Amino acid sequence: MKINVGFEMLYDFSQPTPMIMVLGTHFSRASDVIVPDSLTTEPSVPITPYRDLFGNWCSRIVAPAGRIRLAADGCVRDSGLPDPVSPSAGQHAVEDLPADTLVYLLGSRYCETDRLTDIAWNLFQDTPPGWARVHAICEFVHRHISFGYEHARSTKTAFEAYREGKGVCRDYAHLAIAFCRCMNIPARYCTGYLGDMGTPKPWAAGDFAGWFEAYLGGRWHTFDPRNFVPRIGRVLIAQGRDAADVPITQTFGPNSLISFRVWTDEVAG
């Protein structure tokens, strides 16, 4: 299948303001890109790309005073198959983990393992290690958190999501990530496009999505505690320890976000 992915954001700035953007299909999907979802700006300003510590492609600009439009529109080839499920994927002993996964065992800005370790072990110590344990974590988080955009808060952490029992997709991901790390399973945050293909209508307005990957059986596996079912057409943008590492936009001065649109649609034919 082919998927049209893109976004449009309008900002107002009172003065020239630096911005960092983590947008665009992840390099791991490069062979699937039919039309690149390259970042464009109106008015046109110089865009400087760079790779961050996690290998994500990022862009830097200085937004001029006034209104600026950030946009992209691309097309990606996808298998059309739901997220893979690997029940036999085993959990590694910490001493056997590859060195590059160890950072994803540690606490981070939104995933306070120190505050959640006792809770995690009380909840999941009797679950079978490996895939079944991560699945149990996702099931708990899916049932524990009530979804609603009115519950979104940029400062909300995994512990606060656990305590409040409400949030948005990034809160589901943060809590599941923190629980996995508490149980010695490396877990990393993912942001990207996730359309509603294969789900019943009516479909909600488009948005970027947050999910996570856990390291089991020698590789990374996708998990989505918000939806808790394998989904079709997931298009990764970036990965990091948590949402603090992969903000869609980061501004370094006062501004107003005037409008925000995201689309992820199957292309006919």
Tens digit of each residue's pLDDT (9 = 90 or more) over 105-153: 999 999 999 999 999 999 999 999 999 999 999 999 999 999 998 999 9
Prior bond to 43 cis, omega within 30? yes
Beta strand extents in the chain (DSSP E only): 2-13, 17-21, 33-35, 40-42, 48-51, 57-63, 66-77, 146-147, 166-167, 187-194, 208-216, 219-223, 234-240, 249-251, 255-267
pLDDT confidence of 269, banded at 50, 70, 90?
A: low
Each residue of 47-99: pLDDT tens digit? 999 999 999 999 999 999 999 999 999 999 999 999 999 999 999 999 999 99
In total, the chain counts a number of residues equal to: 269
Domains of the chain and CATH, by start = 2-80+248-267 (2.60.40.2250), 94-245 (3.10.620.30)
Q: Tell me: the pLDDT tens digits for 163-177? A: 999 999 999 999 999
**Packing angle of the helix pair 169-182, 113-124 (nearest 10 deg):** 80
| Spatial separation of the C-alpha atoms in residues 226 and 51, rounded to whole Å | 29
